[in-house]
Amino acid sequence: MEEVQRHSVHTLVFRSLKRTHDFFVANQSFLPEVDESLEKLKYSIKARDTYGLVFDRTAKAKALAVKRGEGERVDGPPGVKDGVLAITAGGEQEGGSTDGANPQSNALVPAATPATQNTSNAVQILPKKAPTIPKPKWHAPWKLCRVIAGHLGWVRCVAVEPGNEWFATGAADRVIKIWDLASGKLKLSLTGHVSTVRGLAVSPRHPYLFSCGEDRQVKCWDLEYNKVIRHYHGHLSAVYTMSLHPTIDVLVTAGRDSTARVWDMRTKANIHTLTGHTNTVASVVTQAANPQIITGSHDSTVRLWDLAAGKSMCTLTNHKKSVRAIVLHPSLYMFASASPDNIKQWRCPEGNFIQNLGGHNSIVNCMAVNPEGVLVSGGDNGTMFFWDWRTGYNFQRFQAAVQPGSMDSEAGIFSMVFDQSGSRLITTEADKTIKIYKEDDEATEESHPINWRPEIIKRRKY
């Protein structure tokens, strides 16, 4: 058997082209004659396909002109013959003006006048309104007013009592401390956890404080006796976050076992185990309206849950990195989720995306929002960003100062919360301190103007 000689691709392509050229070279100059009728038919089909809507509107306009007794005519500049329409630039006609009411107007589609608007079927093309970017509301800048020290480890969580008289903090020293909100003095220390305390919640209807930690324990403290009265057993790993339902006696906890568990506060029964996340659930919030439970996870998703069925209603996959913080707006039917890529705002109940708040380029551990529409986000590198909720305008940035004796890496902010009035912000940090911020009373719109540049915002959003 004879072996086939191999050639390069370039040689084979060249041979194919030469063979084709030799085959058709004899007919190159003998092209068929052009059939004018077929050419006209081809162009008319193309015109009807592309401009059919214009032809139909023109026919309606001509029929309307005949109906009004003005005769069948086509307006246009001098030199237009055989009823052929031409689209020309605006300007005055010979012997007429460009007024819309003038029958001599060269408008392609006549605009209906008030007298004929209800009876005619002429279409009026309205100019599209340009999108507008709302101007952000002015907010007073915030300043540090108190630093509280007392914990011996990273302070991981904070919760404010509904009466706005005290707040509780939990830390890596395994102690829960109760502080007076007005004076910042220590009122009480609660011991019982054997590992870092990661979550706290104070009941608005009972004298109860709930806590969870890395020891897998969820505890209910009776504040009248300052002791644990209930344990909620079921989590298989560290419990990182918790939330109390605002209207029913239900507690929701979540953590490193990738689940959120719904507990009956009184009977300690595990009502639902919400499964679906594939990594640590870092944040959970509850509200009275659907979705009653919202969770954010290190698997980069946010899930909205049906509390009655114990199933996921919706999964939001817009984030590219882990979602460590979720916050509900106190009055609007909206929530925000934070990730190192962006802070995103959503509308309930379907989780419709509203806008991105970009610029906080660090791991965002926590967020808080007050009734005035001030959203605050805290990062792992000690940065705090203050945003206007409605427009997403970043009106202030903070870099938390590391306390004397702490390392530069201990500048992280782990949790934050506004007090019940929304006028004070409490943050807990990696330098083992608790910081309280408040608005600067002396600031005005003149001393701290809004640096609002809508063209930059427009480029970022669109």
Range with the poorest average pLDDT among 318-327, 361-370, 376-385, 446-455: 446-455
* Structure confidence at residue 355 as a pLDDT band (50, 70, 90): very high
Collapse the DSSP code of 66 into the 3-class scheme (helix H, G, I; strand E, B; otherwise coil) and give the result. helix
Residue 27 has pLDDT above 70, yes or no: no
Collapse the DSSP code of 338 into the 3-class scheme (helix H, G, I; strand E, B; otherwise coil) and give the result. strand
Residue 29 pLDDT:
60
Nearest to 414 by CA among 231, 170, 148, 155: 155
The span from the CA of 297 to the CA of 278, in Å, is 8
Burial class (CB in 10 A: 0-12, 13-18, 19+), 83: exposed
Contact 417, 434 (CB under 8 A): no
User: For residues 225 and 405, which has the higher predicted lDDT (pLDDT)?
Assistant: 225
Residue 455 has pLDDT above 90, yes or no: no
Backbone angles phi, psi at 90, to 5 degrees: -70, 160
Nearest to 106 by CA among 125, 92, 121, 126: 92
Residue 26 pLDDT:
67
* Domain limits, the chain: 143-439
Residue 4 has pLDDT above 90, yes or no: no
User: For residues 231 and 8, which has the higher predicted lDDT (pLDDT)?
Assistant: 231
The span from the CA of 446 to the CA of 437, in Å, is 22
Residue 178 has pLDDT above 70, yes or no: yes
Q: Which residues contact 249 (CB under 8 A, 6 or more apart)?
A: 205, 264, 265, 266
CB atoms within 10 A of CB 343: 25
Residue 80 has pLDDT above 50, yes or no: no
Residue 411 pLDDT:
85
Q: Please give the average per-residue pLDDT across 165-173, as a whole number.
A: 97
Convert 164-190 to b/e letters by CB count within 10 Å (16 or more is b).
eebbbbbbbbbbbbbbebeebeeeeeb
Q: Please give the average per-residue pLDDT across 196-213, as a whole number.
A: 96
CB atoms within 10 A of CB 296: 29
In the predicted model, what is the mean pLDDT of the chain? Answer: 85
CB atoms within 10 A of CB 313: 18
- Tokens 């009035």 correspond to 421
- Homologous superfamily (CATH) for 143-439: YVTN repeat-like/Quinoprotein amine dehydrogenase (2.130.10.10)
Contact 435, 416 (CB under 8 A): no
Q: Please give the average per-residue pLDDT across 429-449, as a whole number.
A: 91
Residue 28 pLDDT:
59
* Structure confidence at residue 120 as a pLDDT band (50, 70, 90): very low
What's the predicted TM-score (pTM) here?
0.70
Q: Is 379 left (phi over 0), alpha (psi -120 to 50) or beta?
A: beta
User: For residues 437 and 17, which has the higher predicted lDDT (pLDDT)?
Assistant: 437
User: For residues 35 and 244, which has the higher predicted lDDT (pLDDT)?
Assistant: 244
Contact 212, 255 (CB under 8 A): yes
Q: Please give the average per-residue pLDDT across 127-139, as a whole number.
A: 75
Instruction: For residue 82, give the amino acid letter.
Output: D
* Structure confidence at residue 128 as a pLDDT band (50, 70, 90): low
